[in-house]
Chain A
Amino acid sequence: MARQRVMVVGGGLAGLSAAMKLAELGIDVDVMSLTPVKRSHSVCAQGGINSCSDQTRQAGDSEWKHFDDTVYGGDFLQHQPPVKEMAYWAPKIINLMDRLGVTFNRTTEGFIDRRRFGGTLYKRTAFAGATTGQQLLYALDEQVRRWEVAGKVRKYEHWDFLGPVLDNHGVCRGCVGQDLVSMEIRAFPADAVLIASGGCGLLYGRSTNSVMCTGSAVSRCFQAGAKYANGEFIQVHPTAVPGADKLRLMSESARGEGGRVWVPRTPQDPRNPRDIPESERYYFLEERYPQYGNLVPRDIATREIFDICINEGLSVEKGRQCVYLDLTHIPRQELDRKLGGILEIYEKFQGVDPRVTPMKIFPAVHYSMGGLWVDYDRTADGGLRSASPTNMVTNLPGLYALGECNYQYHGANRLGANSLLSCIFDGLFAAPGLEVWLSSRATAAAEAPASLFESEVRRQQACQQELIRRPAGGENPYLLHQTLGEVMTKAATVVRRNPQLRDALREVEELAARAKRCALADTGQWTNQNLVFTRALLDMFPLAQTILRGALARDECRGAHYKPEFAMPHLTGETTAQRRAEADAWCTRFDENNRRWLKSTVAVWQPREESVQLSYEDVDTSLIPPRPRLYGLVGAALIEEVWNQRVTAQLARVP
């Protein structure tokens, strides 16, 4: 048999960790990336990477608690075995990254320092200043370069993934890519294709995502028949710095290191924030969530900031929505050591020193919890079977999805500092399974009939020709993208309402139709960015529809998906008995809601109708039974008590 190869699409943390691990296993790897892999979006991750450590263990932490926090933070919408496996791998992953030379911050004694992140009570997060993603990615980039020199890895940088190549049995046998310099389109026979192309923040126009996070690679797989799950779960990060071209992330670590969020009690108080006395500041997160304070999970922090600005009219500025994120009480030296990177970003782009003046921040679209549907191989004790080719494979055999672009770990809401973990875990864990997959194949993709690849190349060339030949004067792709972003941001971010979602869906369909009449300003055959962008735009519509349809259908509140119409009530009864009755009703409603909605949304693209078909899949919650997510709810203690009584009673009934 000819030598087998694996194609990795995307050179972020997930793609590179897969590439290096595959190379170590002796497998030849190709890495295709829109940009030199060192410039992938993973560099933007700031705050850190989670794992329990020897120190947190002594404070009562464990891998199980990390797993529990992740599941609870994600509102139980994730299959638990992969999450459990990831949490148990986490300490090992941090050790590995440490060995690879990641410059994690250190304690005085020389151990890896940890900070606290949202949604947990433990200081679990290892960090390298405020550029942890960059540092982790560089370590992997270096390792992959090492394998490149050794001849095991070939990089195709400045290449665009145009789609998988499927044989008659629906097995993925490679992919088609385009050189973004010469515009050459060619096929890459591969015995497995790993999609590790990250998120799709560009659907929202401006987000915290890099400009290459268009979701195009995922969308092309989706349109080729791969399932897409939980699309409606889009994380809106509570703290970002608004900008004309991008909403720049202001890491959760700013709050992890003691940053406080507040607004003046007087709306649009014109005074310098430093002159506003404590008594006239409203530290709304601390007041509303005494236990977690500024470190409530992201979906909650986001909604509160949104609520303070939109509903209570307490935005710091009149014309623009924002609240203060205040670090000025922390010593400058400590700030520089632990948060230097992000403070520099703020200073550079806003021209204000955040060590002296509180930052002005507002939520921004940040992360897609949803992604390509992938499978997993469960062991009896609820973990993942290692070296199983079933892990992380999409519904198309041979096509895998890793990192942000799969839906596996974060449920309805991702906890901070879990994304870096999930990306690296995916790459490392998937590789041995791929080795088994390759050895199970009877023939190498390189021996597959050439016609299989040729026809796909011809199809892509024809698509491109059609785009290029469109008459001038058609729709402007950049303006369409802007409109799409506005529609999506309005309808499918923090607060969702069915009428708005319905309108948005209609508008997106209209935009998609208009996009078919897009005309290119550049019809050349050399570094045609206009063409590449337009093609990515066209591929945004299926994902936009998936997000909107999923959101419209899901009549409940779960994690990042918040529909006020279906919000669970606070307890308002005056007497204990009344409140107890309310709590009882609350628990019953919670139970019923879970029976209806504790399900993954699974979308399938229907090419003929150019629409999305949804179905629902049960979630494996066998390890940690779902329980109410009660951060900050009035009457939380009582609901918890009632809930626990019910669980105990249920357990007693089970023989």
Chain B
Amino acid sequence: MAENHREGEAAKTFDVRILRQAGPGQASYWERHRVSYEPDMNVISVLQKIAAHPRTADGQDVTPVAWDCNCLEEVCGSCTMVINGRVRQACSALVDRLLEQHPDEIELRPASTFPVVRDLVVDRGRLFQALKKVTAWVAVDGYYDRGEGPPQSQEEQEQLYPLSHCMSCGCCLEACPQYARVELTRGVDESPEEFVQRQAETYDRLFLGPHAISQVILFNSHPTGRHMSSLRLDALIAEGGIQLCGNAQNCVAVCPKDIPLTTSIARAGRAATVHALRKWFDV
């Protein structure tokens, strides 16, 4: 940790290097900030400090850095960013630990697999589009009272609960070598609705990602959810489906919620094959 001695008083500081970008299509650039150290800081509190005093290490006044966050306890999935080269939630990235790994400096970058909105804020719409593609919901008849839900064994619950923990943070997608970045821009003569439609269609053709594959297993294992399993498997074997997984298994390694993504992928792979065979030979 750098120690800046000023007239006898020792103020511990450390540097934060942030990859900034003013908006889509603009050039990105690195900016260095110097932050005074306090115990128990995490990357969010660092960014809060920078927002309160947006001045670079060499004393230039700049606009505050933009970033996403909400719950600050790693359940909302907002604050995904690449910290010291690795994607994670900023709220649970404790400064003490980061400085143990890389003394003096913390490096922050936006997730590279999603289009940058501004600075550390990215557009993760594609991630949610995949949830639509795989019908990630239980299609109940309606919301009137119809008594209890189907009974479930403890064992079933213990299998479903971890899968249901996915907070759509996008860490798995950032680390996945098969999930290529795509950035669309609205055409001059395109209405916002048309653009959204084109975006959805494009996303649907690209790899849907481990998070969505895992949701298929979640809902296909649910006693009522499984009624629509063939529809979900159709999505898995469509273009951009499970076949694009390359088994690098980075997803499971970076998942902040320890979701057994690769187990889901293997199970989904099996189900998808059986489903495809059945479609060719049984129907």
Contacts and interface: CB of A to CB of B under 8 A. Distances in A.
Contacts of A110: 151-154
B35 interface: no
Interface stretch (B140-148, B174-182, B235-243, B268-276): B140-148
B103 interface: no
B132 A111 contact: no
B78 interface: yes
A382 B42 CA distance: 50
A345 B63 contact: no
B70 A101 contact: no
Count chain B CB atoms within 10 A of each CB in A111, A211, A522, A533 and give the residue with the most.
A211
A43 B76 contact: yes
A39 B165 contact: no
Contact of A100 (B61, B74, B138): B138
Nearest to B153: A110
Interface stretch (A134-142, A399-407, A456-464, A589-597): A134-142
Interface core residue of B23, B42, B148, B153 (most chain A CB under 10 Å): B148
A275 to B, nearest CB: 25
The majority secondary structure among interface residues of chain B is loop
B72 A248 contact: yes
Given A36-B128, A134-B165, A44 B149 contact: no
Interface of A: 20-21, 24, 35-36, 38-41, 43-44, 92, 95-96, 98-101, 103-112, 128-129, 131, 134-135, 138-139, 142-143, 145-146, 148-149, 181, 210-212, 243-246, 248-249, 337, 341, 345, 348-349, 351, 428, 476, 478-479, 521-522, 524, 526-527, 529-530, 533
B38 interface: yes
Interface stretch (B11-19, B43-51, B245-253, B259-267): B43-51
A262 to B, nearest CB: 24
A529 B64 contact: yes
Nearest to A241: B73
A214 B259 CA distance: 32
B72 A246 contact: yes
Contacts of A39: 70-71, 76-78, 167-168
Interface residues of B, number: 71
B48 to A, nearest CB: 6
20 contacts: A21-B143, A35-B78, A41-B70, A44-B73, A95-B148, A98-B149, A99-B148, A108-B154, A135-B164, A138-B164, A145-B137, A211-B72, A244-B41, A244-B42, A245-B72, A249-B73, A349-B73, A478-B52, A527-B117, A529-B51
Contact of B147 (A95, A101, A351): A95
- Identify which of A40, A341, A428, A533 gathers the most chain B CB atoms within 10 Å of its CB: A341
Interface stretch (B2-10, B201-209, B217-225): B217-225
Interface of B: 22-23, 38-42, 44-45, 48, 51-54, 61, 63-64, 66-78, 91-92, 94, 117-119, 121, 124, 128, 131-132, 136-140, 142-143, 145-154, 156-158, 160-161, 164-165, 167-168, 219, 222, 224-225
Given A110-B152, A478-B48, 9 more contacts: A24-B142, A36-B128, A38-B168, A92-B145, A100-B140, A106-B152, A478-B51, A521-B54, A530-B63
Q: Which of B118, B161, B168 has the most CB of A within 10 A?
A: B161
Given A96-B143, A149-B132, A527-B118, A101 B72 contact: no
Contact of A349 (B53, B92, B224): B92
Contacts of B222: 101
A107 B154 contact: yes
B11 to A, nearest CB: 17
A245 B74 contact: no
Contacts of B124: 36
A349 to B, nearest CB: 7
A99 B68 CA distance: 33
B84 to A, nearest CB: 17
Given A108-B154, A245-B48, A476-B52, A527 B148 contact: no
Residue of B45, B51, B158, B164 contacting most chain A CB atoms (<10 Å): B164
Contacts of A149: 132
Nearest to A476: B52
Given A99-B140, A106-B157, A110-B153, A38 B75 contact: no
A526 B164 contact: no
A104 to B, nearest CB: 7
A36 B80 CA distance: 14
B75 A43 contact: yes
B60 to A, nearest CB: 12
Given A43-B75, A244-B38, A128 B167 contact: no
Contacts of B219: 101
Contacts of B150: 99
A99 B151 CA distance: 10
A522 B52 contact: no
A527 B131 contact: no
Given A99-B138, A142-B138, A210-B70, A131 B117 contact: no
Contacts of A108: 154
A349 B38 contact: no
B131 A145 contact: yes
Contacts of B138: 99-101, 139, 142
A145 to B, nearest CB: 6
Nearest to B154: A106
Contacts of B149: 95, 98-101
Contacts of B143: 20-21, 24, 96, 143, 428
